[in-house]
């Protein structure tokens, strides 16, 4: 799907069918990088007059990936807006590429703006690596800036950018008539939209593979049940309501199945529901608690948390043959595993002097991504470059983002109440 088709669909569906929540998450940088690849994002010509700071959005996006260290605009000696105007001498010698562009009002479509940009290589004589033009409605200029970031990131790294994605999460406003909200927002916390509100707890949202539906757990009927909410039609379907626990839904990578935890047979076990046939497959059988299923990148296996060894640890089960392996063996607790999309291990919660997010690579070596003391429910961007999780700041649950290499850290406070259970969407622009 191209970007213009995407924003038209979004404008028609989201703008009409959903209500915008009254407080975006406001991303605050708490740890930067100093060893990323140097790139320049020149302020776009005309953006100040037209009220759209696209270059700042692109700069922030590239910084958050942990891959790039954008140069300060104070280092530029010119303000080029196209590849023809770029002079290599205007940038520091270590800058490998520059993003330049311009924003002007459309002369043919009211409320639309023309955006053009070039990604210019500064290795040798300046030359355009990318050149794009588009007409974008004013309300979607920020979204288009994320799209620019996606294209720049992919061109320079070979990895698809994930800046035009969203996160789903639960906001809890204690004391309100409907204190529990299921919301979605841009990955950086902007453009918050309320999908569901309830007087009873909501938890564990998870995205479908096509980005159109979210499954979640609701206690609105005084018991744990799993619902699926269509983002665009607003149609809501009750998926499971078995006796006992119905929890931790997780869509498969191809969108055809949902893994979940059910205690219908007495003990919390892992099940997989095939959506088309409604066939329910029991995956685990053990007297200990098995919980928190998540899919491997290829959909062939499930990671899950189990106490069968005396304390929570991560296990992996092959769905084709039932082969079971223990993934973690540390003396501390490990839980809430999520597979890296590139196959490079998992991220999880590790209890070591507090609860923190760690990356366990394919060899099992641990790389701390957060410092605690109470970090939980990690979710990975579809390209594997960033991780969002819930953390405790000032006695409140808030969201935080860290690059997968730990270089960049930020938190997303915003509004009242607690924010928890983040879930990163799949790619929304194909």
Q: pTM (2 decimals)? A: 0.90
Q: 162-198: buried (b, 16+ CB within 10 Å) or exposed (e) per residue?
A: bbbbbbbbbbbbeeeeebbbbbbbbbbbbbbbbbbbe
Weakest mean pLDDT among 20-34, 258-272, 320-334 = 20-34
Residue 32: the pLDDT is 60
Residue 430: the pLDDT is 66
- Same domain flag for 44 and 139: yes
Would 1 be classed as within a structural domain?
no
Question: Mean pLDDT, to the nearest integer, of 62-77?
Answer: 86
- Other beta carbons within 10 angstroms of residue 278's beta carbon come to 8
Question: Mean pLDDT, to the nearest integer, of 379-400?
Answer: 94
Report pLDDT digits (tens) over 127-157.
999 999 999 999 999 999 999 999 999 999 9
In the chain, the number of structural domains is 2
- Other beta carbons within 10 angstroms of residue 405's beta carbon come to 17
Tokens of 60: 């922030």
What span, in angstroms and rounded, lies between the C-alpha atoms of 333 and 155? 40
Cis bond before residue 373 (omega within 30° of 0): yes
Q: Which of 124, 157, 190 is the last residue of a domain?
A: 157
Residues 190 and 142 sit within 8 Å (Cβ to Cβ): yes
Report pLDDT digits (tens) over 341-383.
988 899 999 998 899 999 999 888 899 999 989 999 999 999 9
Would 4 be classed as within a structural domain?
no
Would 26 be classed as within a structural domain?
no
Would 254 be classed as within a structural domain?
yes
- Same domain flag for 255 and 200: yes
Q: What is the CATH number of the domain that holds 97?
A: 3.40.50.10070
Would 148 be classed as within a structural domain?
yes
Report pLDDT digits (tens) over 210-231.
999 999 999 999 999 999 999 9
Tokens of 125: 């004589």
- Same domain flag for 351 and 418: yes
Q: Secondary structure of 98-152 in the HEC alphabet?
A: EEEEEEEECCCCCCEEEEEEEEEECCCCCEEEEEEEEEEEHHHHHHHHHHHHHHH
Would 67 be classed as within a structural domain?
yes
Would 246 be classed as within a structural domain?
yes
Residue 27: the pLDDT is 61
Instruction: Calculate Rg over the CA atoms of the chain.
Output: 22
Residue 22: the pLDDT is 45
User: What is the DSSP pairing of strand 280-282 with strand 376-380?
Assistant: unpaired
Q: Which of 178-182, 188-192, 407-411 has the highest mean pLDDT?
A: 178-182
- Same domain flag for 357 and 268: yes
Weakest mean pLDDT among 13-27, 214-228, 298-312 = 13-27
CA dihedral of residues 221, 227, 229, 233 (deg, nearest 10) = -80
Residue 1: the pLDDT is 45
- Same domain flag for 223 and 369: yes
- Same domain flag for 186 and 136: no
Q: What is the CATH number of the domain that holds 385?
A: 2.120.10.30
- Same domain flag for 201 and 320: yes
Per DSSP, 354 falls in state S
Instruction: Say which residues have a Cβ less than 8 Å from residue 76's Cβ, sequence separation at least 6.
Output: 40, 42, 90, 91
User: What is the DSSP pairing of strand 68-70 with strand 37-41?
Assistant: parallel
Provide the residue range defining the domain that includes 359. Answer: 166-424
Q: Which of 122, 157, 192 is the last residue of a domain?
A: 157
Cis bond before residue 27 (omega within 30° of 0): no
Question: Mean pLDDT, to the nearest integer, of 311-337?
Answer: 94
- Same domain flag for 342 and 413: yes
Q: Which of 97, 127, 157 is the last residue of a domain?
A: 157
Would 18 be classed as within a structural domain?
no
Report pLDDT digits (tens) over 233-254.
999 999 999 999 999 999 999 9
- Same domain flag for 221 and 145: no
- Same domain flag for 142 and 204: no
- Same domain flag for 152 and 176: no
What span, in angstroms and rounded, lies between the C-alpha atoms of 284 and 317? 9
- Same domain flag for 318 and 404: yes
């Amino acid at each position: 799907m191209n970007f213009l088709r995407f924003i038209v669909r979004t404008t028609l569906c989201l703008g009409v069918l959903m209500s915008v929540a009254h407080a975006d998450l406001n991303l605050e940088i708490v740890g930067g990088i100093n060893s990323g690849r140097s790139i320049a994002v020149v302020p776009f010509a005309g953006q100040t007059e037209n009220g759209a700071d696209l270059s700042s959005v692109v700069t922030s996006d590239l910084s958050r990936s942990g891959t790039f260290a954008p140069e300060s605009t104070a280092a530029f000696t010119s303000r080029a807006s196209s590849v023809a105007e770029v002079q290599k001498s205007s940038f520091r010698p270590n800058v490998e590429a520059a993003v330049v562009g311009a924003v002007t009002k459309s002369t043919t479509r009211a409320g639309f703006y023309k955006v053009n940009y070039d990604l210019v290589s500064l290795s040798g004589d300046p030359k355009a690596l990318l050149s794009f033009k588009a007409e974008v409605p004013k309300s979607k200029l920020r979204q288009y800036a994320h799209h620019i970031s996606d294209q720049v990131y992919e061109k320079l790294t070979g990895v698809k950018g994930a800046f035009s994605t969203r996160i789903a999460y639960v906001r809890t406003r204690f004391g309100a008539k409907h204190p529990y909200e299921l919301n979605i927002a841009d990955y950086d916390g902007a453009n918050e939209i309320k999908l569901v509100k309830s007087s009873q707890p909501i938890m564990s949202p998870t995205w479908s593979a096509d980005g159109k539906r979210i499954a979640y757990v609701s206690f609105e009927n005084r018991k744990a049940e799993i619902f699926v909410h269509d983002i665009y039609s607003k149609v809501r379907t009750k998926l499971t309501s078995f006796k006992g626990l119905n929890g931790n839904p997780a869509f498969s990578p191809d969108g055809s199945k949902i893994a979940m935890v059910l205690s219908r047979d007495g003990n919390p076990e892992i099940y997989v529901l095939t959506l088309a046939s409604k066939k329910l497959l029991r995956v685990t059988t053990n007297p200990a608690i098995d919980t928190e299923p998540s899919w491997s990148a290829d959909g062939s296996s499930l990671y899950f948390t189990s106490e069968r060894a005396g304390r929570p640890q991560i296990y992996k089960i092959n769905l084709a043959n039932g082969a079971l392996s223990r993934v973690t063996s540390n003396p501390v607790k490990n839980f809430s595993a999520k597979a890296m999309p590139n196959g490079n291990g998992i991220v999880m919660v590790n209890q070591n002097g507090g609860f923190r997010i760690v990356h366990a690579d394919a060899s099992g070596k641990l790389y701390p991504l957060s410092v605690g003391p109470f970090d939980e429910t990690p979710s990975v961007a579809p390209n594997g470059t960033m991780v969002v999780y819930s953390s405790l700041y000032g006695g409140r649950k808030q969201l935080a983002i860290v690059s997968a290499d730990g270089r960049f850290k930020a938190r997303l406070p915003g509004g009242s109440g607690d924010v928890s259970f983040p879930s990163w969407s799949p790619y929304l622009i194909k």
